[in-house]
Amino acid sequence: MYDTQYEIMIICIDVGNTRTKVAVYENGTLQHLIITNEEKLIKKISKQIQGVENRVDIILSSVGNLSSEVLAELDKLGKLIIVNHETLIPFKNLYGTPTSLGIDRIVLAAGATLKHPNQSRLVIDAGTCITYDFINNQDQYHGGAISPGIGLRYKSLNDYTANLPLEKISELHPFIGNSTSGSIQSGVLNGVIAEIEAFIDHFEHQDENLTVILTGGNSEFLVNRLKNSIFANPNFLLESLFLLHQYIVTND
């Protein structure tokens, strides 16, 4: 990593589709992990920085829209970096439509590049959507894929049919479901697992030294059900924000 020593507090904020997560780093070490929402965000961060004498930096990634009032309050609490398509990144973006690439995917690709240098990486974010992002060993980002997440698959079956019930993640999902509920569990969960395995296999055929990182809200459920060797970190986006902050400060 980098030689620079940070005697500062770094607050990493990930505003996702369903919730907001905050990681508080002091002297390069994760101290607190907070799950909150926009209404409580300022109060939660104000509590963390109360009595802090050192500098406070805040780095923010959002797939939604935080209100201008919240952004203004964050800017008062510390030096604010909002990750956007102009932010300095450690990889070459070869995406065909670079300004449409999700900020969360940019941050994850940056984190994978910085944490696993000189190798090909596939980042799989299993959240509301399942995203796949590939960065080769030359630090070139090529793109990936987006598909519905587990919750969206359950919801679509319930929303767009007359009689199928709304299910939720179950430990029991045999390959052959012997009831309507069991059939939905088999189709959704075994389907997601097969999809992820297929993407990993595809990229491993291109580079057998591929590093696979699994993150997102459903990563802990999926990790022990995948045959491939992967790094699982449900909070990798927050860690990626921290690594990206280091990169920006070091190279700005």
Instruction: Give the tokens for residue 205.
Output: 């055929």
Order across the sheet with 92-93: list the strands: 92-93, 140-148, 129-135, 121-126, 211-215, 231-232
Contacting residues for 124 by C-beta, under 8 A, at least 6 apart: 130, 131, 132, 196, 199, 200, 212, 213, 214, 215, 216, 230
CB 184 within 8 A of CB 164: yes
For residue 198, give every residue at least 6 positions away whose Cβ sits within 8 Å of its Cβ, in sequence order, or none: none
Listed in sequence order, the residues at least 6 apart from 53 whose beta carbon sits closer than 8 Å to its beta carbon are none
E strands within 116-239?
121-126, 129-135, 140-148, 211-215, 231-232
Indicate if 104 belongs to the active site: yes
**Integer Cα distance of 43 and 30 in angstroms:** 20
Please, are residues 34 and 14 in contact by the beta-carbon 8 Å criterion?
A: no
CB contact at 8 A, 73 and 62: no
Q: Compute φ and ψ for 12, nearest 5 degrees.
A: -105, 130
Beta-bridge partners for 113: none
Q: Which of 104, 125, 133, 139 is catalytic?
A: 104
Which residues are annotated as catalytic? 104
